[in-house]
Amino acid sequence: MEKSKIPDPFAELRLKSGFETIDDQNDPVTMLLRHKDVRKTAHNYKIFTSEAVPGRIVVPSEVNIRDTRQIPFEVDPPKHGAYRSIVESWFKRPLQAEYQQALAEMISWIIEEMITRDSVEVVNEFALPLQSRALTLLLNTPFEESETWISWGTHVFRSEGEALDADKANILYDYIDRELDRAIANPNDDLYSVLIQSDFEGRKLSKEEAKGVLVLTFAGGRDTVINAVTNAIAYFADHQESLERIRKEPELINNAVEEMIRYFSPLTHMGRVVTEDTQVCEHAAKAESRVSLCWASANRDESVFENPDEIVLDRKINPHVGFGFSHHNCLGATHARQIMRILLKELSEQVQSIDILDLKENIEHWGNFQRKVGYHKINVKFNPITQ
Ligand code: EMZ
């Protein structure tokens, strides 16, 4: 089997029943597996709320390690929209030419350095620094801050072998508190300062609300971006011809990125809490219970996608839900898309081929499902293009 393959563990149950209930810290979750059900449920925020106890819609639940409500992620409409409109234009900055230029320089520089090495561990030496450095653009903070963020590792709430790591989470909270205090005392033009000065429903955004946006910004786009970047490199290692095709047809890049996000589905699923007794897939779902929208399964739904288990670089109709769906579609998606587009462009221009030396897969366990989401480690050798 190709080393970069990401199998679909949901296929059988998606066809059979459309759902599966799994345990999560004694707070079960019914995972919805079909594209149609996932989208319908995502729309229906009145019965399937995101505004539960902070941390409960995340699987694994973060209720024991987090009190701060992530904003706008853990708020329902109409308040969700009011929060989102404060931050939307900031998170669209990656569409600006200067932003893309700065990002391209960062990514090009990393690749230039990596192609000189005999071996690169992509997760920690490539994807994590890339994600953290790119985040300095999104926050508009000094580049040096990325060193601190890199030291936190690939996930701010989890460590290898530990699903929830409260000590680690506290490092992030303390850091954000300090930065917000600094911004209150000495505002500048970074995201902390912008949030603190924002107006919300006729008042200023509180420090706790600003913190909610920042925790989401740090946590939500971290392992997801790292997995997307790492999986893309593994894919090109197995498919040198795709790298070549992108070099010759760079106009394919946007479609190719969407297709990779569909296939990789860097975030397996996201939960909702049921507000009243209802039904999912002709199955009773009680008020107060949890369901999850399984993006990874929906993205392989054979009733929607032809050849769902293949990366079809020029797939044209691609209603994937890799960035979520409906009101809560990913706030960081513009930034993530730019990272991926520039990565593909720079890789295709600098790299001839990639050899995988060794790897350790990152397998998530959800009840009986085992899902590969990426790698804990993957050592590769980048072979430069030699003219
Ligand atoms: C939450 C989540 C957001 C959660 C879009 O996903 O990402 C997870 O990685 C975090 O642990 O807190 O931010």
Is the pTM here over 0.85, yes or no? yes
Asked whether 268 and 316 are in contact (CB, 8 A), the reply is no
Q: What is the mean pLDDT of residues 142-150?
A: 98
Quote the percentage of the chain above a pLDDT of 70. Answer: 99
Q: Kindly report the CA angle at 73 between 72 and 74, in degrees rounded to 5?
A: 100
> Residue type at 202?
G
Asked whether 204 and 198 are in contact (CB, 8 A), the reply is yes
Q: Which atom of ligand 1 is nearest to the CA of 158?
A: 11
Report the C-alpha gap between 65 and 68 in whole angstroms.
Answer: 9
In this predicted structure, the answer to whether residue 161 has a pLDDT above a threshold of 70 is no
Q: What is the mean pLDDT of residues 124-144?
A: 98
Q: How far is the CA of 19 from the centre of ligand 1 (A)?
A: 22
pLDDT band at 163 (very low <50, low <70, confident <90, very high): confident
The verdict on the CB of residue 225 being under 6 Å from ligand 1 is: no
Residues pairing with 291 in the sheet: 30, 272
Query: Using one digit for the tens of pLDDT, what is the confidence trace for 7-44?
Result: 999 999 999 999 999 999 999 999 999 999 999 999 99
Query: Using one digit for the tens of pLDDT, what is the confidence trace for 194-235?
Result: 999 999 999 999 999 999 999 999 999 999 999 999 999 999
Q: How far is the CA of 131 from the centre of ligand 1 (A)?
A: 15
Handedness of CA 334, 336, 342, 348 (dihedral sign): negative
Handedness of CA 75, 80, 86, 92 (dihedral sign): positive
Q: Which atom of ligand 1 is nearest to the CA of 58?
A: 4
Report strand pairing: 120-121 vs 199-200: unpaired
